[in-house]
Amino acid sequence: MPLEYPRVKVIKIGTLRLEPHERPGPTLFGLKGELGIGGGSTVTLVESDRVVLVDTGFDFEECGDETNRKRNAEILEFALRSSGVAPETVDAVFITHWHRDHFGNLSLFPRAEHLVSVPLWEKLGRPGFRPVKDGEEIADGVKVIYTPGHTDHHASVLVAGRLAGLRARIAVAGDAVISYSYFAQGKIWRHNADFYDHRQALESQTRLAELSDIIIPGHGVPFATAPRPKKPLVLKHPSC
């Protein structure tokens, strides 16, 4: 029986190795590594007429050895199966951009169609990927939207569906919105070597906020895009 609306589920919440107020450095990254904060991306499942995965996550992206690859694949497979999804039943995987913390587990889905933006497809220049245009639907109610800035080829996914039982417009942002902390402070992550354009990054972030009710960021928990109150909310005890 076809779904009335696409269902969206966060399979794995990504972590962030550098908050807006923190300065990068080996001591900080070493501490976060010891705490198990690997910086892998959020992984999102969309069930429509097709089963679509957005990004695959990959912790400790700087370590590409076999041990880390196997560990990452096992963690993602366990998370999927815990949600009732076997990797071989995923029809398509959309990669928001070509950073290993987002694409590193792609080999877990050899049967799935591998989807990327046209600019990324042109950059990769290799078989095994299908280019997707800006505004193109990749499943019923699931649309790709180009969101350059973080990289020149970045794209996000918009879903008119349900998350946790709530009907909403959901943006699976990738690193166009890296986390709520950056979004709330109006800041942009600029620590990747291939960072493209600050102005376009801000425009992409604003566009996603305008087109959605809920944003699933590239790293961290989903959040609502409802306008923040201009004045701080003051809670008073009933006896006051």
- Torsion sign across C-alpha atoms 188, 19, 183, 93: positive
The closest alpha carbon to 102, from 119, 90, 87, 114, belongs to 114
Domains of the chain, start order: 7-224 (3.60.15.10)
14-55 per-position pLDDT tens digit:
999 999 999 888 898 888 988 999 999 999 999 999 999 999
Where do we find the tokens 């196997």? Answer: 70
The closest alpha carbon to 130, from 94, 90, 172, belongs to 94
Tokens encoding 178: 């890296």
84-134 per-position pLDDT tens digit:
999 999 999 999 999 999 999 999 999 999 999 999 999 999 899 999 999
Q: Residue type for 184, please?
A: A
Q: How many Cα atoms occupy the beta-carbon half-sphere of 220 within 13 Å?
A: 20
**CA dist., res. 38 & res. 35, Å (int):** 9
Residue 238 has pLDDT above 70, yes or no: no
Tokens encoding 40: 């892998």
**CA dist., res. 216 & res. 223, Å (int):** 7
**92 forms bridges with which residues in the sheet?**
52, 113
120-137 per-position pLDDT tens digit:
999 999 899 999 999 999
The closest alpha carbon to 142, from 152, 151, 132, belongs to 132
- What is the value of pTM for the model shown? 0.92
**54 forms bridges with which residues in the sheet?**
44, 94
**pLDDT for 151:** 98
